[in-house]
Amino acid sequence: MWFKPVMFGLMIIGLLWIIVFYITEAQWPIAAAGSWNILIGFGIAIVGFMMTTRWRS
């Protein structure tokens, strides 16, 4: 029951992380991380995508 919301949530959070980074011109979400924010966002989204391999209807 909890698996699908977490899976889709991680994918959306990762995408939003990257979008916020670009829109705010690297001031948010973590200014000190700089371009590493892209890797952080992709990492969050990849965890969500990896969860799709374990998803059963």
Residue 57 has pLDDT above 80, yes or no: no
- pLDDT tens digit sequence for 34-44: 999 999 999 99
Residue numbers of the domain that contains 46: 3-54
Domain count within the chain: 1
- Identify the pLDDT of residue 56: 79
d(CA 8, CA 27): 26
d(CA 36, CA 19): 14
- pLDDT tens digit sequence for 3-42: 999 999 999 999 999 999 999 999 999 999 999 999 999 9
pTM, to two decimals: 0.89
**Phi and psi angles of residue 30, each rounded to the nearest 5 degrees, phi first:** -130, 105
Which position has the higher pLDDT, 56 or 8?
A: 8
